[in-house]
Chain A
Amino acid sequence: MEIDRRAFIASLGGAAVVAGMDHEAKAEALEHYMEDQLDAQVAANSGQADKFPTVAEIEAQIETRDFRRGAGSLFVSNRGNVKKLAPMPDKPTLKDFFELRFQPANHVLQSATRAMKTGMSEEIILACLLHDVVLNLIKPDHGWWGAQMIEPYVPEKTAFAVRYHQTLRFYPDPEAGYEYPDQYYRIFGHDYQPPKYIEDTYKWLKNHKWYMEPRLVTVNDLYAFDPNAKVSLEPFMDIVGRHFKQPKEGLGFDNSPSAHMWRTMMHPDNPL
């Protein structure tokens, strides 16, 4: 695909903004720009400005790839070969994982920043910060995987919010400030129906006293990458300190039920 360099830079807010972005942010911005351009081209070619694919069309793409969409982002690269990862400290902390395995982590940092600015509780801000980090490991059922991974270390409400935000993302709740994202029409298909276990979970959640915990994660979930946003883990370190029980042996070495998940992210190049 040919890129109009000027248009791309202008879309980011100008040369000065681009100069202030690091390499990862630039690469991510370029990737999003190309995705948008591709979507626009596909829409223009089909003659319909808002045409989203069907479930069948998305399924037809499966055998055109050399990877599965559900593979965690530590395991596949959509920008050439994967890179050698920096070694982790002997007793890694959550901060180490953010810096050495979850980078650039823009999505979760922006989501947590928004939650902080909109006055959410610390449990919800922590849930926003952690809600998608498991996507580095695996993508399908990321709510359940993500909650299981953090459950030994975080408040019960935080794990609950992470586990069930996956379900609630399929169900709009305008009263609470959540609309079904158009991005989902694009990635699941416009005629997608959530499977029965998601429907059943939703029915159960609707009457749960903690319904709003995962709902607030969906409300603060971000669907648009903002290249101008300056985000870092620093503003959340106090909340992490208060609510994330960092094991003294280091994440991955504390014999918790999810220690192996952290170890897998430490060493994604291990063959077995």
Chain B
Amino acid sequence: MRRTLTIGAVVAVSIAALAAQGKPQTSKGLQMTPTSVEITDQSSLRDCPPGTNTVHAMARAGERMANVTVAFKVLPSFKPGPLKRPAVMSTDGKTYNTSVQFVDVGSVPEFSCTFAFRVPEGTMLKSMTIEDATLDLSGLSK
């Protein structure tokens, strides 16, 4: 009985965790799943996959840093090459760019990156574009 309850609880937690993630999208041999959106005053700008460069960006008055974390899987069809920096669109239709850059994608099979966007205070994110994929952020934006 206790075992059934434990398994049930684990399944429920896993379903809840999956529901909290966005839907995976695939583009150019990369599977991408948005996993969280966090609003902060300061962000660490690491290259993607996390590696060489780190700069901290600090929000100025009236701004916040919106940090979107995306999990990546490199599929066999992926061809190494430069990728454009992602952009996010807010619910009011504005587009914001990030200073986080893709560097050496494909060097590891799975990785997770956080892309920081400088946005006006109160901005709600709707979606993120990476190459020709659009990731839905509406369920993750708080």
Q: Do A and B come from one complex?
A: yes
Question: Residues of A at under 8 Å CB distance from B?
Answer: 50, 110, 113-114, 117-119, 174-175, 177-183, 219, 222-224, 226, 229
| Chain A contact residues: helix, strand, loop or mixed | loop
Distance, CA A181 to CA B57, complexed state (A): 7
> Least Cβ distance of B60 to chain A in Å?
10
Does any Cβ of A come within 8 Å of B99's Cβ? yes
Q: A118-B82, A174-B118, A179-B57 are in contact. Are A226 and B101 (CB under 8 A)?
A: no
User: Contact at A177–B99, with CB atoms within 8 Å?
Assistant: yes
Which of A50, A113, A175, A223 is close to B55, meaning CB atoms less than 8 Å apart?
Answer: A223
Whether B102 lies near A179 (C-beta < 8 A) is no
- Contact B101 A223, beta carbon cutoff 8 Å: no
Would A114 and B97 be within 8 Å (CB), given that A50-B42, A119-B81 are in contact? no
CB distance from A181 to the nearest CB of B (A): 5
With both beta carbons as reference points, the residue of chain B lying nearest to A177 in the complex is identified as B99
Asked if B77 is at the interface of the complex by the 8 Å CB criterion, the answer is no
B51 to chain A, nearest CB (A): 7
The yes or no answer to B140 lying at the interface (CB within 8 A) is no
Considering only CB atoms, which chain A residue lies closest to B42 in the complex? Answer: A50
List residues of chain B with CB under 8 Å of any chain A CB: 42, 45, 47, 51-58, 81-82, 85, 97-104, 118
Interfacial chain A residues near B101, Cβ < 8 Å: 118, 177, 219
A179 & B99 in contact (Cβ 8 Å cutoff): yes
CB-CB < 8 A to B57: which residues of A? 179-180
New A-B contacts (14) at CB < 8 Å, excluding given A114-B47, A174-B98: A114-B103, A118-B103, A175-B97, A177-B85, A179-B45, A179-B57, A180-B57, A181-B55, A182-B58, A222-B53, A223-B53, A224-B53, A224-B55, A229-B51
Cα(A179)–Cα(B99), bound, Å: 7
- Whole-angstrom distance between the alpha carbons of A174 and B57 in the complex? 10
Are B55's CB and A179's CB within 8 A? Answer: yes
- A178 to B100: give the CA distance in the assembly, Å: 9
Complex CA distance for A174 and B115, rounded to whole angstroms: 12
The residue from B45, B82, B97 contacting A117, defined by CB atoms under 8 A apart: B82
Contacts of A114 in B (CB 8 A): 47, 52-53, 103
- Bound-state CA distance A222–B53 (Å) is 6
Give the residue of A177, A180, A183, A226 whose beta carbon is less than 8 angstroms from that of B52.
A226
Closest residue of chain B to A181 (Cβ to Cβ) is: B55
CA distance A190 to B104 in the complex (A): 33
**Nearest-CB distance from B52 to chain A (Å)?**
5
Please give, as numbers and ranges, the residues of chain B lying within 8 Å of A181 by CB-CB distance. 55-56
Chain A residue nearest to B104 (CB atoms) is A117
Partner of B82, one of A119, A178, A180: A119
Query: How far is B45's CA from A175's CA once the two chains are assembled, in angstroms?
Result: 14
